[in-house]
């Protein structure tokens, strides 16, 4: 079925790709295609597309898919993926100006090279800055909100908007920015520090992450949010779910708040396994786990 609007796409300087495979773009390596994949040439191209697109056309955004499960039926409408032109990083004093497509790890490394501390935690955050802004990503006691200065985004009509800390509405693994906003860049701030010390801290964080998480597996990162006063992994472990499987979908033996694709899992297998885990935790502890991984598309 062809979605309403995709037959009358506006002219762009970037590229449209119809029936575009997405599974190789996301960490789980599962999921169906995008009806249309749009890679804008730059922010003006993206703004022009958003302003001129048919209003009934569904639009969504993906980054590198580190915390994303695309269902097997794929995604209707236009999926926007920002290319490398949106990943540039510029240093100004103790501030980093970075495009939304910049990898969080690249932002951390750029800060270290410039002798800026306070952003080391981003070395352990998978994905891009745009996704980190959307979900207030963090680890090891630090979050985006702790280093955030401002961000620029385009709303559903292509209008440029600037967001300060109060506008973002940051909470635990979330922001309050409307869903139709596409972030294009942000400014983060750290503090002056010794580059050697900053790199040593990042190396330590990375070593701890690799020792405790299945980072080399086909995974989607932390599956569930930590409920207030609890650790999701401990609840999952306590409910007897470590190593639980549905076909080639498995709860990681190494860190049981991670689901992994052992090889030939479908998105449906991974999502159903997640629901199995939620049911077992609810039955054992009376606590309902909330998905942290974003699930999109048609089953």
Tell me if residue 208 is catalytic.
no
**What is the chain's alpha carbon radius of gyration, rounded to the nearest angstrom?**
19
Catalytic residue, from 29, 173, 245, 295: name it: 173
Tell me if residue 292 is catalytic.
yes
- Per-position b or e across 60-85, b if 16+ CB within 10 A of its CB: bbbbbbbbbbbbbebbbbbbbbbeee
Please answer whether residues 106 and 123 qualify as being in contact, where contact means their C-beta atoms are separated by less than 8 angstroms: no
Which long-range contacts (C-beta less than 8 Å, at least 24 apart) are formed by 101-110? 101/63, 101/128, 101/129, 101/130, 102/128, 102/129, 103/64, 103/127, 103/128, 103/129, 104/128, 104/129, 104/132, 104/137, 107/188, 108/202, 109/202
Q: Count Cβ atoms below 10 Å from residue 56 Cβ, excluding itself.
A: 9
Chain mean position to CA 235: 24
**Longest distance between any two alpha carbons in the chain, whole Å:** 57
Catalytic residue, from 53, 222, 252, 271: name it: 222
SS3 66: coil
SS3 194: coil
Phi, psi at 221, each rounded to 5° = 75, -160
Tell me if residue 4 is catalytic.
no
Listed in sequence order, the DSSP H helices in 148-229 are 165-168, 195-212
- The secondary structure of residue 257, as a DSSP letter, is T
Instruction: Give the residue numbers annotated as catalytic, written as ranges.
Output: 173, 222, 292
């Amino acid at each position: 079925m062809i979605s309403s609007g995709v037959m009358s796409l506006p002219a762009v300087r970037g590229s449209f790709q119809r029936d575009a495979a997405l599974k190789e773009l996301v960490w789980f390596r599962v999921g169906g295609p995008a009806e249309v994949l749009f890679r804008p040439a730059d922010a003006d191209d993206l703004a022009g597309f958003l302003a001129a697109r048919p209003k009934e056309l569904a639009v969504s955004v993906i980054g590198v898919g580190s915390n994303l499960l695309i269902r097997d039926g794929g995604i209707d409408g236009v999926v926007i993926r920002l290319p490398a032109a949106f990943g540039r990083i510029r240093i100004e004093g103790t501030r980093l100006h970075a495009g939304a497509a910049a990898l969080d790890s690249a932002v951390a490394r750029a800060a270290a090279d410039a002798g800026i501390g306070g952003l080391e935690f981003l070395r352990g955050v998978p994905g891009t800055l745009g996704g980190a802004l959307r979900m207030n990503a963090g680890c090891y006691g630090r979050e985006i909100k702790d280093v955030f200065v401002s961000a620029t985004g385009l709303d559903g009509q292509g209008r440029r908007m600037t967001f300060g800390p109060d506008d973002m509405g940051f909470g635990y693994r979330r922001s309050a920015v409307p869903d139709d906003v596409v972030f294009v860049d942000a400014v983060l701030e750290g503090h002056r520090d010794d580059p050697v010390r900053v790199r040593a801290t990042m190396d330590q964080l990375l070593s701890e992450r690799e020792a405790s998480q299945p980072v080399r597996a086909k995974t989607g990162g932390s599956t569930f949010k930590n409920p207030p006063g609890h650790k999701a992994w401990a609840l999952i472990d306590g409910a007897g779910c470590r190593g639980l499987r549905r076909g080639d979908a498995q709860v990681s033996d190494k860190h049981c708040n991670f689901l992994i694709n052992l090889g030939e899992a479908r998105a449906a297998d991974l999502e159903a396994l997640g629901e199995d885990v939620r049911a077992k935790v609810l039955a054992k502890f009376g606590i309902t786990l909330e998905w942290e991984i974003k699930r999109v598309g048609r089953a």
